Amino acid sequence: MFWFDRANPDACFVDIRSERHELTDKSSRGGSRSLVIDPDIQADFTALPFADGTFALVAFDPPHLVRNGRSGWLAKKYGKLGADWREDLRRGFTECFRVLRPDGVLVFKWNEHEVKVSEVLALTDARPLFGNRCGKTAKSHWLVFMKSDANGKASS
């Protein structure tokens, strides 16, 4: 949802889903709009099909819903975490850092609609360098991490 240029050759969009939905939208011509989830690579974020140290930059935008129904438009748009969501997110962070190069950057996006960002950050030992909350009352957070070097020291 946040790509400016998903066709950029440096971008690789990964999602476990590959699907198309027609969503009711009174503001759209015909009263509906298409939601297309068409990843470059269909894969689970807990088991990424890339070698260690492949990327200098990873954007991790996992589903943030745990209670929303699977057939609702929010779940269709953003996906939904399963019952073992804590372990899935823990494994997702591990995978993101695994595929990052030393000194690589991880941009993490999270919406607190159902789970506080503090609960999610408790699932990884990594600490963000900086970030922001979108808007005064928004619940979306953008956090930036940097992978430590081989000695475990944070890069500067």
The closest of 144, 133, 63, 134 to 107, measured between CA atoms, is: 144
Q: Does 149 have pLDDT greater than 90?
A: no
Is residue 156 one of the residues assigned to a domain?
no
Is residue 36 one of the residues assigned to a domain?
no
Q: Count of CB atoms within 10 A of residue 100's CB?
A: 23
Assess contact for 99 and 48: CB atoms under 8 A. yes
Average pLDDT, the chain: 86
* Beta strand extents in the chain (DSSP E only): 14-15, 19-24, 32-37, 41-42, 55-60, 100-111, 130-133, 140-146
Q: How confident is the model at residue 113 (pLDDT cuts 50, 70, 90)?
A: confident
Least confident of 38-47, 65-74, 88-97: 65-74
Hey, which residues does 59 pair with through a beta bridge? Answer: 107
Q: Which domain holds residue 112?
A: 54-146
Is residue 154 one of the residues assigned to a domain?
no
